[in-house]
Chains A and B, each alone.
Chain A
Amino acid sequence: MTTKNRNLLLTCASAAALLTVFSASASAAGVAPPPLPPGSPMVKVEAGASPAEAIRTERAHKHGNLRNKDYMRPDVAPAPGIGTTSSPATPPNSPSR
């Protein structure tokens, strides 16, 4: 998700506004609601991932190293087994692999 998207999924229901909207329903229920905490009109609630997490999922991962890159020439000398699907030797610490 992006900042832009984040803004659009913003839930920002001003509690003060909701108090007004639903005061009639509270009367109907026969119970007066508790007062809202201080600062409620300043509070914007977003459903879902926090902005920090939303940024993380949209990493562009571009860093310029792609420029004119040769996608057919490996940047390493071929290692044993490279380029094949044959099984390599058992790893040194895993006799039971």
Chain B
Amino acid sequence: MKPVKPLLAALLTLCLAMPASAQTEQRTALSLPALFTDLLKLPLQLIPKPKPKPGPTAPPPVATQPGPRTLVLYDAPPGQTFTKLGMAYAIMLRNLLGHFDSTVDLVPVQNYAAGQVNNYDATFYLGAYYDNSVPPSFMADVTTTAKTVVWFKYNLWQMAWNPTYNFQGRFGFGFNGLRGLNALPSAANPNPGFFDTITYKSLPFVKYYTYDGSAVAADPDVGIVGITDAAKATTLVPMSNPKTGESAPYVVRSGNFWYVADLPFSYIGPRDRYLVLTDLLHDMLGVNHAESHQAMVRLEDVGAMVSVSAMQTLTNYLYQQRIPFSVATIPYYADPLGVYNGNVAQFVPMSQATNLKTSLNYALARGGEVVMHGYTHQYSNMRNKYTGVSGDDYEFWNIVANTPVAEDSMAWAKSRYLAGLLELSSNGYSPTAWETPHYQGSALASKAAAQTFAKTYQRVVYYTADSPNFNAAVGKDFAVGQIFPYPIKKDYYGQRVLPESLGNIEYDISAIDPTSNYNYTWQDIVTNAQYVKTVRDGFASFFFHPFWLEPQLGVPGYADFQSTIQGITNLGFTWTVPSKLN
């Protein structure tokens, strides 16, 4: 009964926060007594339970094996526009360390205290800024500690080229310099090349690159090292420069010291070298998870306007293949501007969403389960940024202004989560996980999700401040989107994150919808699955929009869906669902 009180408070907040039109609809859908009854039926298992206090006769708590204790040092030179860039990278690494149940401390490298490295099982230094000063005390400790130290990219020269540290003699490899683009890009030579290919477990992981005629979007710089004593140092992963034919070490290990030539948190994607690090972290931390490959499929953006026919077809196929699946469900349909309803506002509570409930009931009886995908999957009565209609727009982020929404707070976000849960529970559904609309909510919304749902199932955007200022002249903030190849027990916001690692099928239907203007094929998804399988416990997790089966679109949605499922199955993945993941 304990959670009821906050739920009531949150619902009151919700009533104040909802648009008037939506409130009217909500009132007609729920009488007050029914509301109280429904509160008691809320799926409380979604709400993290407080830890029970042991009574006087309770047995002593069972000792659990804690994850490794890790220190992440990052560049944060004060007074710079990009002071917080290193922190953004540090947050991404911190999230990955959450896969290992690690207790992580994030510390600007200038705040390093002598001897600190010995308090941790592993220390990571993220060399994000060219020639940022590394404290001599840290470098001295690196040469003496028996604990694991992993150094990324820049600034190794400060130790390797300073005879004080006898770097080469100690570690068996030397630092030779930096490499980036092979030449200046130009119209005649738009891609001069760089060390862009990292070969790992027989697959080429290619770093992102585009050139628009004036600027290069890429992260080509790498540190070049050379092994001088093979008895001490080993190249674990090589990188190559296809345009010059050169190769060089990408990851080197010398005892407890590792060097990664790159900072693999930029321009990440499902086939990016970022995945190499996600796998190698097992070795760096000495936590060798068993080889295990699971897959997940989620039917996406299923709301009041869903096609029963499409849902039935997909459900039947998955059921016949004995594949469990989830349905990303939008509990409450809103079209406040009447964009799809002749300019007349339209709101459909779940109690009236017959087709949605028919589809869900059919799916749930055949291996499906509900994931809550927003409350309305749109925000207020504005176009954010498309139509203001459920399924189209952002709900927990003002994408037009690129800021948190005006009401942003944990209480506001939680009130919407609870409203969505109430819509579901009052119609007999209990979600097994949460998914933020368009994968982007504010920092506070994500923190509130961690307090409301036991699992978050998506890619996640992280910020270097809860109220970020992306335009500050000094210390501007960053937002970083992160893809996970495996579950994260606790991320930067406290969420348990289940992975969506592969993406989704898309078709160019720009004749119907100008914004749907590119193809992403089932072969792309299956290729992505091959890459994520290099991660020893990597998940092949994708989603699919049932509307691709609607005949008026004229695309081979159903055939491609089947090919995707078959392709992933043939790679040896075992299908699972959020409810089965602890």
Contacts and interface: CB of A to CB of B under 8 A. Distances in A.
B365 A81 contact: yes
B319 A91 contact: yes
Nearest to A5: B402
Interface string B428-463: 100000000011100000000000000000010110
A47 B129 CA distance: 13
Given A39-B185, A94-B322, A57 B439 contact: yes
A88 B319 contact: yes
Interface string A10-37: 0101010011011101101111011111
B131 interface: yes
A74 to B, nearest CB: 4
Interface secondary structure of B, over-half rule: loop
A42 B215 contact: yes
Given A65-B547, A71-B333, A31 B361 contact: no
Contact of B266 (A30, A46, A71, A72): A46
A6 B72 CA distance: 25
B129 A1 contact: no
B162 A38 contact: no
A94 B354 CA distance: 30
A42 B305 contact: no
Given A11-B85, A91-B319, A18 B267 contact: no
B425 to A, nearest CB: 15
Contacts, number: 295
B269 A53 contact: yes
Nearest to A71: B304
Given A5-B479, A37-B181, A63-B513, A15 B130 contact: yes
Interface string B348-360: 1000111111100
A37 B195 CA distance: 12
Given A37-B180, A58-B438, A69-B340, A82 B358 contact: yes
A31 B162 contact: yes
B157 A43 contact: no
A13 B208 CA distance: 17
Contacts of A56: 503-504, 506, 520
Nearest to B518: A55
Contacts of A34: 157, 177-178
A46 B217 contact: yes
Interface string B152-167: 0000011001100000
Contacts of A4: 399, 402
A86 to B, nearest CB: 6
Contact of B355 (A2, A71, A86): A71
B392 interface: yes
Given A29-B158, A48-B480, A71-B348, A13 B82 contact: yes
A71 B354 CA distance: 6
Contact of A29 (B92, B162, B180): B162
Interface in B315-342: 319-322, 333, 340-342
B134 interface: yes
Given A74-B355, A88-B319, A42 B309 contact: no
Contacts of A57: 438-440, 459, 481
B550 interface: yes
Interface string B161-187: 110000000000000011111111100
A35 B348 CA distance: 62
Contacts of B438: 57-58
B131 A53 contact: no
B545 interface: yes
B265 A43 contact: no
Contact of A49 (B301, B358, B483, B509): B483
A72 B355 contact: yes
B132 to A, nearest CB: 6
Contacts of B101: none
A67 to B, nearest CB: 5
Given A5-B402, A37-B181, A39-B216, A30 B162 contact: yes
A85 B92 contact: no
B299 interface: no
Contacts of A59: 504, 506, 516
Contacts of A25: 77, 131-133
Interface of B: 77, 80-82, 85, 88-89, 92, 129-134, 136, 157-158, 161-162, 177-185, 192, 194, 208, 210, 214-221, 265-270, 272, 300-301, 304-305, 307-309, 312, 319-322, 333, 340-342, 348, 352-358, 361-362, 364-366, 385-387, 389, 391-393, 399, 402, 428, 438-440, 459, 461-462, 470-471, 478-483, 503-504, 506, 509, 512-513, 515-516, 518, 520, 545, 547, 550, 552-553
Lowest 9 CB-CB distances: which A-B pairs, in order? A37-B180, A48-B480, A49-B481, A25-B133, A76-B309, A8-B470, A74-B308, A39-B181, A50-B267
25 contacts: A2-B399, A5-B440, A9-B479, A18-B82, A21-B77, A26-B133, A29-B136, A33-B157, A34-B177, A37-B179, A42-B215, A47-B88, A47-B89, A48-B88, A48-B268, A49-B269, A50-B208, A53-B503, A58-B438, A64-B513, A66-B305, A71-B333, A75-B309, A75-B355, A93-B322
